[in-house]
């Protein structure tokens, strides 16, 4: 009788371990992502304009960037060491986790800057409203500081994890890049 009770309890323990495991795996990833809100914000709005919005960003793009910080193809003193400890499988979950959240709402009443002429060609990849698509990230609503930093990094050869963007950015003057960053951040 004692043995019967033991194996029943043991059986229950195994069944609950199996049932609980997937939920714990999901929790594991989200608990490892609490640190991200220190800069990327706990409601999707970054606490510092140098950190980009990642909530609601294109999933393919997020995974590509996480992969590139992991491999060293994109390098940043803050992000590279932060991402190194994750496996590529984990990084797929990280990308899905942030992509599923909503892009933060705009400040009510914020005015949209006039679109500079040089921005027309960007729509082919970044979307008619710069909402992004499977091949390219959303740009609408990123901060001026982050946008101008990313554009200058491509133009100056500091960010080389894409073959096309450096040439596109070098073809513009810094005044044009500033006008583009101004416009995109106002969307
Ligand atoms: C201490 C501040 C800080 C923390 C913490 C932080 N980030 Fe970042 N993150 C940044 C900055 C700054 C950049 C821009 C770096 C660059 O220019 O390459 C960035 C860039 C990114 C990008 C690239 C987005 C894009 O539009 O190209 C992703 C994805 C990202 N972070 C994810 C994460 C995740 C996931 C975590 C948590 C594991 C995290 N970050 C924690 C500051 C931070
Ligand atoms: C041929 C397609 C294509 C065109 C045209 C294009 N882009 Fe891009 N852009 C991309 C892709 C793909 C990426 C992501 C690169 C990577 O893997 O990091 C990107 C990245 C960016 C980023 C970095 C976003 C971030 O979150 O870090 C900015 C800013 C940007 N593009 C601005 C522009 C502007 C401004 C134009 C027009 C002058 C333009 N792009 C034209 C494909 C394109």
Closest residue by Cα to atom 39, ligand 1, is 36
- Residue 146: partners with Cβ closer than 8 Å, 6 or more residues away: 49, 50, 51, 52
Closest residue to atom 1 of ligand 2, CA basis: 125
Q: What's the pTM value of the predicted model, to 2 decimals?
A: 0.89
Return the sign of the alpha-carbon dihedral for residues 122, 143, 161, 69. Answer: negative
Beta-carbon count within 10 A of 59 CB? 16
Candidate of 58, 75, 122, 165 to mutate for ligand 2, largest count of ligand atoms within 8 Å of Cβ: 165
Checking 66-73 for CB contacts under 8 A at 24+ apart, the result is 66/91, 66/94, 66/95, 67/91, 68/161, 73/160, 73/161
Fold held by 106-187: Cytochrome Bc1 Complex; Chain D, domain 2 (1.10.760)
Among protein residues, the one with the nearest Cα to ligand 2's atom 41 is 122
Whether the CA torsion 152, 157, 160, 165 is positive or negative: it is positive
For 19-54, how does the pLDDT look when each residue is reduced to its tens digit (9 = 90+)? 444 445 555 789 999 999 999 999 999 999 999 999
d(CA 121, CA 63): 25
> Which DSSP letter does residue 53 get?
P
Q: 91-115, pLDDT tens digit by residue?
A: 999 999 999 999 999 877 778 888 9
Task: Tell me the domain boundaries of the chain.
Answer: 106-187
Nearest alpha carbon, ligand 1 atom 1: 39
b or e along 20-43 (b: 16 or more beta carbons within 10 Å of the residue's beta carbon)? eeeeeeeeeeeeeeeebeebbbee
User: Distance from the CA of 30 to the center of ligand 2, in angstroms?
Assistant: 29
pLDDT in tens, 123-179: 999 999 999 988 799 999 999 999 999 999 999 999 999 999 999 999 999 999 999
Query: Residues lining ligand 1, judged by CB closer than 6 Å?
Result: 33, 35-36, 38-40, 50-52, 54, 62, 65-66, 74, 76, 78-79, 82, 94, 137
Ligand 2 contact, 52 CB (< 6 A): yes
DSSP state for residue 51 in the 8-state scheme: S
């Amino acid at each position: 009788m004692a043995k019967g009770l033991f194996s029943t309890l043991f059986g229950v323990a195994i069944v609950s371990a199996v049932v609980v495991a997937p939920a714990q795996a999901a929790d594991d990833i989200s608990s490892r992502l609490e640190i991200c809100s220190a800069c990327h914000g706990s409601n999707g709005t970054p606490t510092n304009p140098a950190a980009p919005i990642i909530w609601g960003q294109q999933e393919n793009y997020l995974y590509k960037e996480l992969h590139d910080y992991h491999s060293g193809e994109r390098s940043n003193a803050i992000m590279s060491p932060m991402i190194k400890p994750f496996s590529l499988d984990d990084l797929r979950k990280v990308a899905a986790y942030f992509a599923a959240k909503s892009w933060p709402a705009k400040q009510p009443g914020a005015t949209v800057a006039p679109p500079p002429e040089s921005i027309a060609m960007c729509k082919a990849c970044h979307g008619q409203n710069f909402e992004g698509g499977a091949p390219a990230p959303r740009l609408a609503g990123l901060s001026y500081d982050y946008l101008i930093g990313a554009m200058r990094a491509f133009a100056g050869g500091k960010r080389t994890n894409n073959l096309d963007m450096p040439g596109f950015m070098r073809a513009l003057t810094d005044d044009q890049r500033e006008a583009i960053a101004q416009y995109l951040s106002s969307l």
